[in-house]
C-alpha cells in the first residue's frame, strides 16, 4: 500500500470546508496512537474530578457538574490541560494538524482554545444547542476572513455516534451569515427546536450527524451551524477540540506553528480567551449553578 499523502489530501479537505462548512479527515491518528490518547485523556478527567466545583487557574479550566445536582461528580469540559499534561502539549502541535490547516490558515498558526468535552452517561446535561461559534467572537469581518481566521478541529477520542451525542452540523449553513441561533441563553440548557432552524432559513435535511471513529478529525468554521444531543447511551464520548487561528489576523493564542514548525508552550501561559484572567488569574473556584437554573 502506498504511503498516505496527507498534504495532497488536505487540498480536498479545504475544498469541502469551503463548500460544506466542515470536513472530515478519517484515520488521522492510528489505533495504537489512540490507545495512548485515550489513556492520557482519562488522566485529565481524573485530575478534574479532584475539584468539587468548576476550577480555573489561568488558561487551565475544568467545568464540573457537582454531586449536589447530579448525584455524583462529573467533568463536562477541560480546557488547556496541556499546561499539566506533556503528552497533550506535544499533540496540540503535531505536524499532521499543520498539514490539514495550512491551506486555510497559512504557515503561522496560533492556538487560542484547547478543550476536551466529555459526555459521561448519567450526566444528562451534555447536549449543545445549535449555534455558530462566531457568537463568541467579533462579527465585523468579511466571510472569507471569518472562515479562515479561526478553525475548530475535533478529534474523536471515543467513537462518536448519534446515540452518544456526536457533533451535528448543518451543511452549507456557513454561507448564510450570522443567524443568532441560541443567543438567548446557555448552550447546554434545553434543545434547539426545529421551528427555530426553519425560521433562520435552514433546511432540516441538511443536518449531518458527524459520526467518527477514534482517530478521525472533524473541522468546522465560525459560521458553521452545529450542535449535539445529550448522550443517550451507556458509553462515554470524549471529543478533543482545538481552535487554531491565523497568526496574521489574530494576536491571541499560544503559538502552535511558526513558519510551519511546531512551537512548544513557553514558561508562562498567554491568556487566550477570558479577559478577567488578566486581573484574576487564579487559582479559584466558580459555580454559577447554570445547570440548576
pLDDT of residue 26: 97
Residue 170 located in a structural domain: yes
Task: Give the separation between CA 226 and CA 133, rounded to whole angstroms.
Answer: 9
Contact 285, 121 (CB under 8 A): no
Neighbouring C-beta atoms of residue 266, cutoff 10 Å: 9
Number of domains composing the chain:
1
Those residues whose C-beta lies under 8 Å from the C-beta of residue 286, and which sit 6 or more positions away, are 53, 54, 55, 56
- Mean pLDDT in order along the chain per 10 residues (293 residues): 82 96 98 98 98 96 94 96 98 98 97 97 91 78 86 98 97 95 73 90 98 98 95 96 93 95 95 80 89 78
Residue 275 located in a structural domain: no
Domain span at 224 = 21-270
Task: Give the separation between CA 82 and CA 96, rounded to whole angstroms.
Answer: 18
Residue 61 located in a structural domain: yes
Residue 283 located in a structural domain: no
pLDDT of residue 1: 55
Domain of residue 109, CATH code: 2.60.120.620
DSSP letter, residue 284: E
pLDDT of residue 184: 73
Report the relative pairing of strands 60-65 and 74-79 from DSSP bridges.
antiparallel
CA-CA-CA-CA torsion sign (81, 118, 51, 288) = positive
Residue 53 located in a structural domain: yes
Residue 284 located in a structural domain: no
Nearest to 135 by CA among 55, 66, 226, 219: 226
Residue 1 located in a structural domain: no
pLDDT of residue 274: 73
Residue 110 located in a structural domain: yes
User: What pLDDT, in 10s, does the model give residues 24-41?
Assistant: 999 999 999 999 999 999
Contact 227, 129 (CB under 8 A): yes
Amino acid at each position: 500500500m502506498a504511503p498516505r499523502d496527507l498534504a495532497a489530501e488536505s487540498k480536498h479537505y479545504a475544498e469541502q470546508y469551503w463548500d460544506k462548512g466542515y470536513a472530515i479527515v478519517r484515520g488521522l491518528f492510528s489505533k495504537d496512537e489512540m490507545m495512548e490518547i485515550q489513556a492520557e485523556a482519562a488522566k485529565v478527567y481524573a485530575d478534574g474530578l479532584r475539584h468539587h466545583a468548576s476550577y480555573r487557574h489561568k488558561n487551565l479550566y475544568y467545568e464540573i457538574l457537582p454531586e449536589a445536582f447530579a448525584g455524583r461528580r462529573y467533568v463536562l469540559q477541560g480546557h488547556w490541560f496541556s499546561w499539566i499534561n506533556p503528552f497533550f502539549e506535544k499533540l496540540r502541535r503535531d505536524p499532521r494538524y499543520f498539514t490539514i490547516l495550512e491551506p486555510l490558515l497559512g504557515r503561522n498558526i496560533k492556538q487560542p482554545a484547547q478543550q476536551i468535552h466529555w459526555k459521561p452517561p448519567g450526566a444528562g446535561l451534555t447536549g449543545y444547542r445549535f449555534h455558530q461559534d462566531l457568537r463568541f467572537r467579533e462579527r465585523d469581518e468579511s466571510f472569507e476572513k471569518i472562515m479562515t481566521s479561526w478553525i475548530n478541529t475535533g478529534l474523536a477520542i471515543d467513537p462518536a455516534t448519534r446515540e452518544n451525542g456526536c457533533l451535528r452540523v448543518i451543511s452549507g449553513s456557513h454561507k448564510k451569515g450570522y443567524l443568532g441561533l441560541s443567543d438567548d441563553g446557555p448552550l447546554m440548557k434545553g434543545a434547539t427546536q426545529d421551528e427555530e432552524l426553519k425560521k433562520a432559513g435552514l433546511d432540516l435535511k441538511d443536518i449531518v450527524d458527524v459520526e467518527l471513529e477514534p482517530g478521525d478529525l472533524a473541522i468546522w468554521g465560525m459560521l458553521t451551524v452545529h450542535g449535539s444531543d445529550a448522550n443517550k447511551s451507556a458509553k462515554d464520548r470524549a471529543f478533543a477540540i482545538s481552535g487554531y487561528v491565523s497568526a496574521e489576523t489574530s494576536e491571541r493564542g499560544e503559538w502552535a506553528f511558526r513558519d510551519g514548525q511546531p512551537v512548544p508552550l513557553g514558561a508562562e501561559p498567554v491568556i487566550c480567551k477570558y479577559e478577567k484572567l488578566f486581573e484574576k488569574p487564579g487559582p479559584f473556584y466558580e459555580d454559577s449553578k447554570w445547570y440548576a437554573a
